[in-house]
Structures are given as structure tokens and as C-alpha cells.
Amino acid sequence: MRNPTRHCLAILSALASWGAVDRTGRSVGVGVGVGVGEAHAQPSPAGNATVGAADEPRSGPPDKPLFLDLEQARIGAGGGAGSLEELRAGLALAQQELVAGNVHAATARLATLVESNRFAAFHADPEFQGAELTLGRALLRGGAYRAAEGFLRRVLEAGSSSPFFGAGYRAMVDIALETRDEAGVLVRLDAAAPRERLPTDARNERAYLSGKGLYGAGRFAEAAEAFAVVGRQSRFFASALYFRGLVNARTRHYGLARRNLCEIVEQADNDAFSFFVDGRYWAIKDLAYLALGRIAHEQGRYDDAYYFYFRVPEESERLPDALFEAAWSMFQKGEYQAARAFIEQFDRAFPSSPLGPDVLLLRAMIELKSCRFDDVRAHLGALVDRYAPLEAEVSRLIAEPDHRRTLYRRLLARDALGREHDPIVELLKLDPRFYRYVTYLTALDREADALPHEVAIWDALTAARAAPIDGASAARGAEAPEAAALVAEVEALVADSRGGEETRETHDDAVDLLGRARQVARLARPVSLGGPFANETVKLQELGRQTRRLRAGLVDAAAGLAESALQDLDHRLRSILRQARLTHIDAVIGKKKRLEIEIANLQAGRYSSDLFGKLETEGLIRDDEEYWPYEGEYWADEYDNFR
């Protein structure tokens, strides 16, 4: 009877080794579920360091001998040829695990179905092709994009008549969009499925992918032509319309831009069936409303801009931008009361928005246009008091790289419950890639921590094979998993004991214990380097070296994005504070001019409206009388009836 724990560990170890080496034996990246696949194709923004390798995987099985060795050791899925019913049952279980979010378990189960020779007789059956597709999707969800491509290309190579061709093609397009490697994936797609024989849905997918690549390369006219090919039944039709509108707006063809964008926000309500709508449609619709509002503002049609900004729903992530830009449009039109109402709604709903300083400056400018000069100075004083120290701290962070490490930790904790108010973190407009890279780093560290355990598993397998021949080596190899687990536990203890002076002695003891634990692990580990699984052990050790290089590249990339956001914030705050000083000067000059006009009017015997009512009341009361003005509230209907 086989040990289920050893079975699980061995399969995960096999998957890690498979993720490290492609079908040609070249190293290509991190294994299943690492979640860093996108980084393979992207350079670091912080320099010339590349993030991972870019070797192209080839379709075909991974290391078949690996699975054969596992089966011979009775650690695989079972002995003998498998049946079609067993394949169906295994596929159903894997799909349930995938739906439940257990990506690692689903991937391991699917790998034993697809890569084992037990089901070789069913390669042409729909159940086997469905298992390949599901494995590709599982790898995609786990972030192992290169490995996912290999299995999805197998599905495509079965031909467009396969029932899984469309789903496989869509999954490949998802990989391209997730990794932003549109051009590279498009080349591999055309090699696996020539464009001349694509069905309608796949042609739409390819057209959109081609348009995204051209748009990203700045070839806007060609991108617009590619987006125009996307049909109404495609899941990307609304997105294609949006990009066509952006291309038109860039070339200042505002009429065409409005036509494309209005088709997104209006036509779905006019017809029973207009085009394909899925989860991404609502985000695109909100972006289309913003784009229409900005086009109307650019053309000076402020009422139209107000209408489009007003259509952005309250639950949208774009509502802060819509409120601020609507206030700006009303300010430009001269509707200061409406602009003030939008600003007040913004302050109530989004007190911690990155647009905070811009909103405060706009409020001061609205009061300036309303000749409320004292209010202008109060708002500008609050702006300078709040944001001038922040600008100084941002400048210090840019000048002193060592202090930026604390900022990175604050960025990672920005959504943590109970965290303290952090104005710099709230003002930063970070590229979404920053958090994606942080997710990759977290997953990479988790998988890298598992590498010693996986090497220990190969040691244990080698020990099981060597037991009849070399009992000493077998004994040492059998202890390898326990030694690896001991090292991991002591490393966690070292991390937990790191702190101030009160924990220094405990930390020193933990470091000493870690050294002894690693010495024990070294005594147990060399077993597999000379056994039948030596190749797998070498691959895992090479994978560890690649992991360290990849991690360094990801750290540089994330740090580069954070530094870019800091520089952008510094520029924004400097510009806003400079504009605040100019607005303050305008307020002082305006108040001086108003006082000069009032003095001239008084000298000429003319009274201002605010003085006239006050003097009239004072002329009607005696010296021994006191006037108490009404301090209640006039209701609109009572006021109208009174008049």
C-alpha cells in the first residue's frame, strides 16, 4: 500500500522539476503555481536587468521518464493501463478542485492523467483533450504561463475541428494579455494554428490581440484597422470599440471617437442583442463615459461633459475622477455653485483620494472666482500646511534610497486592517504592475522555500532504490525530508526572533541553531546526486539559482515603479504648491481691488448691497433698542408664497 503523503510530495516535486526545464532540457523559469510567468517576457524598468528567461517552450510531453520512474516506484497514480472511466473520474475531480481554488492539487492530478503512459491509448479521445485543456487553464491560473502555453498549443495542434479548439485559443489570448507579450504569443499562435483556417471566434480573438500589440507599439492607424475586424459576437467587441475611440481622439477626430464610444454606452440598451457582454464590459463602459466627458470638455461643450460624468455609477472605481473632472468642467463654464457641489460630494465620499491636493486647489480657485477672498486664503493655507511637509518628505525619499525601503513596506500594508493613516501612500498613483510584481515575489519566495524539501524528496527516492545495495546511504537519504523541514522551521524561528535588544540573545541562539541544522541537512542531501534521480536534483539546484536571479530582477522592477510614482508625486505636489502661491497672490490683489472700489463708492455716496440693508435697519431703531436678526431657515415654498 503506497504512502499518500509521499505520493503528494513526489508529484509536486515532479511538477517543480517540470516547470524548471522545458521539453528541450533548457531552463525556462519557475515551476507550477509560482505566479511569476509574466515576468519572463518583461525587462526591468529599473535598468537592464531582465526578469527571468524568455526561452520558448515547445509542444510535446515534458520528461516522460520522470513519470515512469514515479510509477515504477509505485508513487504515481497506479499500475497498469488506465481506463476511460478512470480518466473521466480523475478529470472530474480535478475540475472540482480547480473550481474550489485548489490550483496546486488540480494541477498535480491533471499532470498524472496527461503525462502518464497509463492513458496513452486515449490521446485522440475528447476526454484526454479536455484534460490537456484543463491542465493548461490550471497552469494559467497558477501563473505558470510558459508551461500553460505548452499544453494549450497541444490543444490547438489538434485542429480547429476539435471541440476544445476555441477554448484553447481564448486561453492563449488570455496569457498574452496577462503577460503583455501580445506580439510574442501571436507568433506562437500563428505557428500552432495558421490564421487562414481559423473559425470566426478565433479570428476575432486574433484581431483583437493584434490590435493590442500594434496599439502598444504606437502604430495607431494599423491598430484601428485590426480592431475594426473584431465582430459583435466577440467578447472583445466593446474593448475594441473603446480602443478605436482612443485612436480617433488621439488624432483629434472627435466625431468618430464619440460615435465609437457612444456605441458602447448606449447601443446595448437599444437592441435586444447588440454585442457580447461579460464581466469586463462594465469597466469598459465606465471608461467610455470618462472618455466621452473628456472629449466634450476638450471641445468646450461643458454641459455634455457634465452629462457624461454624471452617468458614471456610484459603485464605479472611476467615480473620483468623474466627480473631479465634472467640477472642473462646471468651473470652466462659470457654474461655480455646481462645481462647489461636486467638490463637496468628492470630499464626503473620497477623503483619502490621491486627487486630494488637486481638489483643494480647485476649491480655492472656485472661491476666487466667487470673490470670496478670505475663503480662498483659508483653503490655500490648509493646502500648504497639509502638503508642503509631504512634498519635503517625498523629496527626501527620492534623494535617500535607503529610506525608500520603509516606504515599500508601507505600500504593501496600505490595505491592511487597522493600519495608521499614511498620506504619502494614499497620494501615490502606482502602476498596477507594482502589486503584480509583489504578488509574484510572494509566490516566488513561497516556491523557493519548497525547493530544499523537493531535493530531499529525490534523496528519499534514491535511498529507497539504494537500500538493498548501500544501507548507509539509504539511511542518510531517508532522513533528508526531515532535515529539510528542520532547516525551514529554524529559519522561521530566526526571522521571528529578529528585533530589538530584548530579543538579541534569542536571535543569536536561533542563528547558531540554524547553522547546526544546515550542517545536518548537508550530511543527508548528497545522496541523490549519484543515484538514478541525479538529473532531477541538478535541475532543482539550477532552478534555485535561477529563482535568485529572477527575484533580484523582480525587486528591481518593483522598486523602479515605486520610484517613478514618487517622482511623479513630487512633480505634482511642486506644481500644485506653486499654483497655490499664485492663486494666493491673486486673492490678495482681488481683495485689495475690492476694497479700493468700496472706498471709492463710499466717497461718492454709493453704498454696497451688503451695507445698504444694514444701514437701513440701523436707521429705524432707537439708541435704547436692539435689533435681533432672524436666524431661522426660510423654506422655498414659504418664501415663494410670501412673495
Q: How far apart are CA 475 and CA 622, in angstroms?
A: 112
Please state the pTM of the whole predicted model: 0.71
Helix (H, G, I), strand (E, B) or coil at 284: helix
Neighbouring residues of 130: CB distance < 8 A, sequence distance ≥ 6:
91, 164
- Spatial CA neighbour of 411 closest among 384, 437, 448: 437
Q: Does the CA dihedral 583-586-592-598 come out positive or negative? A: negative
Grid cell, residue 307, equals 452629462
| pLDDT score at 257 | 93
| pLDDT score at 229 | 93
| pLDDT score at 637 | 60
Quick one: angle between helices 471-478 and 504-524, nearest 10? 140
Alpha helices in 350-470 (DSSP H): 356-369, 373-399, 404-412, 423-427, 432-466
| pLDDT score at 14 | 38
Q: How far apart are CA 232 and CA 238, in angstroms?
A: 8
Grid cell, residue 300, equals 468646450
| pLDDT score at 521 | 57
Q: Do the beta carbons of residue 310 and residue 326 sit within 8 Å?
A: yes
Instruction: Give one DSSP letter per residue of 81-128, joined into a string.
Output: PPPHHHHHHHHHHHHHHHHTT-HHHHHHHHHHHHSSGGGGGGTTSHHH
| Residue 269: C-alpha distances to residues 106, 234, 280 (Å) | 41, 18, 17
Tell me the β-bridge partners of 158: none
Residues of the chain predicted below pLDDT 50? 1-65, 73-77, 269-270, 272, 417-418, 468-471, 474, 477-478, 526, 642-643
| pLDDT score at 335 | 92
How many other C-beta atoms lie within 10 A of the C-beta of residue 369?
14
